[in-house]
Amino acid sequence: MYTLLRRILFTLPPETAHRVALAGLDVAAASGLLKALIPPPANLPVKVMGLDFPNPVGLAAGLDKNADHLLGLGALGFGFIEVGTVTPQPQPGNPSPRMFRLPEHHAIINRMGFNNEGLDHLVARVAKRRYAGVLGINVGKNKDTPAEEAESDYRKGIAAVYDYADYITVNVSSPNTPGLRDLQFGDSLRQLLTAIKEEQGIQHQATGRYVPLAVKIAPDMDDEEIRFVANALLEAGIDGVVATNTTISREAVKGHRHAGEAGGLSGDPVREPSLRVIRGLYQVLGDEIPIIGVGGIRDGASAAEKIRAGARLVQVYTGFIYRGPALVRESVEAIRALKAGHQA
Give me the mean pLDDT over the 130-145 stretch: 94
Label residue 184 by pLDDT band (50, 70, 90): low
CB 268 within 8 A of CB 249: no
pLDDT given at position 188: 80
| Percent of the chain clearing pLDDT 70 (strictly above) | 95
Q: Look at residue 279 and tell me whether its pLDDT is greater than 60.
A: yes
The pLDDT-based confidence of 186 (bands split at 50, 70, 90) is: low
Question: Partners of 57 in the beta sheet?
Answer: 314
pTM: 0.95
Reply yes or no on whether 249 is catalytic. no
For residue 31, the model assigns a pLDDT of 87
Query: What are the distances in angstroms from CA 28 to CA 25, 37, 261, 314?
Result: 5, 10, 35, 26
pLDDT tens figures, 233-247 = 999 999 999 999 999
Burial class (CB in 10 A: 0-12, 13-18, 19+), 174: buried
pLDDT at 179 over 80: no
Is pLDDT at 344 greater than 60 in this prediction?
no
Task: Note the pLDDT tens digit of each residue in 200-227.
Answer: 999 999 999 999 999 999 898 889 989 9
Query: In the predicted model, is pLDDT for residue 95 greater than 90?
Result: yes
At residue 183, does pLDDT exceed 80? Answer: no
pLDDT-above-90 percentage for the chain: 81
Choice among 31, 152, 174, 331 that is catalytic: 174
101: Cβ contacts below 8 Å, ≥ 6 apart: 10, 14, 107, 108, 258
Model confidence band, residue 36 (pLDDT cutoffs 50, 70, 90):
confident
For 314-337, the pLDDT digits (tens) are 999 999 999 999 999 999 999 999
CA distance 223 to 302: 22
